[in-house]
């Protein structure tokens, strides 16, 4: 059975102003793990990055939480040492690129061509080889733009996952996949045990307005109920997330925790 965690981006404003209190509130809801974001920022000096990492780790430990994974920016594979140092301090087991731009040298259109997909997949293989030497896994997190149609009729995301080395982790964001027009149960069945982390959030799911305000789980358009039976047995974390909402974000994520708990997650 997977554990329930919170993607900390959901409470980013609270985390910035009251980091320790925010992590305590996350634990009080019942979450056992968190997914930090923003690691590997190349605009910060090494000392700043390591200090921030130590403070984050201290707050997570004080709240008696685990680290499920983290969204990070990736340098070249040959320059991974400084990032791996930061990940080790925080205790990150899986480092994820949440957008193509967070992998140095790539842009959002990388999944729109077969050659781009091949280069991107090879880059991930090299990152994973380097990270594995330090006990860290590498993965990718999808958004709604990741399914461009290729000339042969296939879709960019599907070709990309097929091209990835098997050790690369898939973190599937169900809401963004729904917004992209994907059938969630079918998608989960296709991906199978490649999926080790899942983001749960809900909202209108409109391709023409993807960043519309999100709502508590079960009150939007995503077929989350239908997705539950298709979750893989090897799923490690079910993570509640929230990008934007007009509601109290802590209430939304607490409702998400209750929604998952009521369904045996």
* Torsions phi, psi for 148 (to 5 deg): -65, 145
What are 212-263's pLDDT values in tens digits? 999 999 999 999 999 999 999 999 999 999 999 999 999 999 999 999 999 9
What are 75-96's pLDDT values in tens digits? 999 999 999 999 999 999 999 9
The H helix count followed by the E strand count for the chain is 10, 9
State both tokens at 29: 């809801």
State both tokens at 82: 């400084």
CA distances from 60 to 131, 204, 244 (A): 23, 32, 23
Q: Is the pLDDT assigned to residue 1 strictly greater than 90?
A: no
How confident is residue 130, by pLDDT bands cut at 50, 70 and 90? Answer: very high
Q: Tell me which CATH code domain 3-262 carries.
A: 3.20.20.150
Interatomic CA distance for residues 74 and 131, integer angstroms: 11
Residue 251 has what pLDDT? 98
Interatomic CA distance for residues 22 and 8, integer angstroms: 9
What are 145-178's pLDDT values in tens digits? 999 999 999 999 999 999 999 999 999 999 999 9
CB 32 within 8 A of CB 263: no
Q: Is the pLDDT assigned to residue 202 strictly greater than 90?
A: yes
Interatomic CA distance for residues 225 and 217, integer angstroms: 10
Residue 2 has what pLDDT? 83
Q: Across all residues in the chain, what is the average pLDDT?
A: 97
The ranges assigned to domains in the chain are: 3-262
Angle between helix 19-29 and helix 249-262 axes, rounded to 10 deg = 30
* Helices (H), ranges, the chain: 12-17, 19-29, 46-62, 81-90, 114-132, 156-163, 174-179, 184-191, 224-227, 249-262
Interatomic CA distance for residues 119 and 136, integer angstroms: 22
């Amino acid at each position: 059975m997977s554990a329930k965690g919170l993607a900390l981006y959901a409470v980013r404003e609270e985390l910035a102003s009251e980091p320790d209190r925010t992590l305590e509130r996350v634990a009080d809801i019942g979450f056992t793990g968190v997914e930090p974001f923003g690691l590997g920022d190349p605009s910060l000096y090494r000392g700043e990055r390591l200090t921030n990492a130590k403070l984050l780790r201290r707050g997570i430990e004080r709240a008696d939480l685990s680290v499920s994974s983290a969204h990070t920016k990736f340098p070249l594979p040959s320059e991974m040492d400084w990032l791996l140092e930061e990940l080790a301090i925080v205790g990150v087991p899986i480092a994820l690129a949440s957008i193509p731009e967070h992998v140095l040298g790539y842009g959002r259109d990388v999944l729109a061509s077969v050659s781009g997909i091949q280069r991107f997949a090879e880059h991930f293989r090299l990152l994973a080889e380097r990270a594995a030497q330090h006990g860290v896994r590498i993965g990718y997190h999808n958004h709604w733009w990741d399914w461009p149609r290729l000339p042969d009729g296939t879709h960019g995301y599907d070709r990309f996952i097929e091209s990835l080395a098997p050790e690369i982790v898939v973190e599937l964001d169900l809401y963004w996949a729904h917004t992209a027009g994907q059938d969630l149960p079918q998608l989960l069945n296709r991906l199978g045990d490649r999926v080790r982390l899942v983001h749960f959030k809900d909202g209108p799911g409109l391709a023409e307005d993807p960043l519309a305000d999100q709502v508590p789980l079960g009150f939007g358009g995503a077929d989350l109920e239908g997705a539950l039976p298709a979750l893989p047995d090897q799923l490690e974390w079910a993570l509640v997330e929230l990008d934007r909402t007009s509601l109290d974000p802590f209430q939304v994520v607490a409702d998400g925790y209750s929604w998952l708990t009521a369904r045996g997650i």
